[in-house]
């Protein structure tokens, strides 16, 4: 396994629409394990393949520590098929170090996609899991959370790296974590 380099800020790959995975082959599982390792190394809770420079529709999420009802998951070609309600919550992003903001997201989502073994999965998610899913799937479409901030919401919070790190340890609702 390997820790991959996380792309940040204006890296072009972060603004591309990622392509669907056409074939679940032997190379996929090691790459997904590298994505998990990279995410853990950066103290994040979600990561999308474009964030490590691979423009494919793959995401990994692990919020199990705080929400054991959602075991860690890797999703291939994930699609949100239903959204319900709205919720305002704080987010950060490993690709936008030191930046946080308040983002409106659907409170509940229904998601379908493929697991690394090729089997189909469909499930409902709420609260933090719904938020992380929406954030990571946005990355597959070249969208940053900062694109979604509404003027009436809190202004973008530009934090010093030290302050940011402190925030993430104190707030389990922080996405990804920022170092």
Contact set with Ni ion (CB under 5 A) = 93
Min dist. Cβ of residue 100 to Ni ion (A): 11
- Three-state secondary structure string covering the chain: CCCCCCCCCCCHHHHCCCECCCCCCCCHHHHHHHHHHHHHHCCCCEEEHHHHCCCECEEEECCCCCCCCCCCEEEEEEEEEEEECCEEEEEECCCCCCEEEEEEECCEEEEEEECCCCCEEEEEEEHHHHHHHHHHHHHHCCCCHHHHCCCCCCCCEECCHHHHHHHHHHCCCCCCCCC
Min dist. Cβ of residue 47 to Ni ion (A): 8
CA geometry: angle 86, 135, 4, nearest 5 deg: 165
Closer to Ni ion by CB, 39 or 76: give it. Answer: 39
Could you tell me which residues come within 8 angstroms of residue 27 by beta carbon, excluding any fewer than 6 positions away? none
Closer to Ni ion by CB, 73 or 93: give it. Answer: 93
Closer to Ni ion by CB, 88 or 122: give it. Answer: 88
Min dist. Cβ of residue 79 to Ni ion (A): 18
Closer to Ni ion by CB, 93 or 140: give it. Answer: 93
Min dist. Cβ of residue 119 to Ni ion (A): 26
Selected catalytic residue, list 69, 87, 136, 155: 136
| 69 classed as catalytic | no
Which residues are marked as active site?
136
């Amino acid at each position: 396994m390997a820790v991959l380099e996380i792309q940040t800020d204006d890296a072009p790959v972060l603004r591309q629409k990622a392509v669907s995975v056409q074939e679940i082959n032997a190379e996929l599982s090691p790459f997904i394990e590298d994505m998990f390792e990279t995410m853990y190394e950066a103290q994040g809770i979600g990561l999308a393949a474009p964030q490590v420079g691979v423009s494919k529709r793959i995401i990994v999420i692990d919020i199990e520590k705080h929400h054991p009802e959602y075991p860690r998951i890797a999703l291939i070609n994930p699609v949100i098929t239903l959204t319900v309600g709205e919720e305002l919550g704080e987010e950060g992003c490993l690709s936008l170090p030191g930046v946080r903001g308040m983002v409106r997201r659907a409170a509940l989502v229904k998601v379908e996609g493929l697991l690394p073994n090729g089997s189909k999965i469909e499930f409902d998610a709420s609260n933090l899991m719904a938020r992380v899913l929406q954030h990571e799937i946005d990355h597959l479409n070249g969208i940053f959370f900062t694109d979604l901030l509404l003027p009436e919401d809190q202004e973008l919070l530009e934090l010093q790296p030290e302050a940011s790190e402190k925030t993430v340890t104190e707030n389990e609702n922080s996405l990804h974590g920022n170092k």
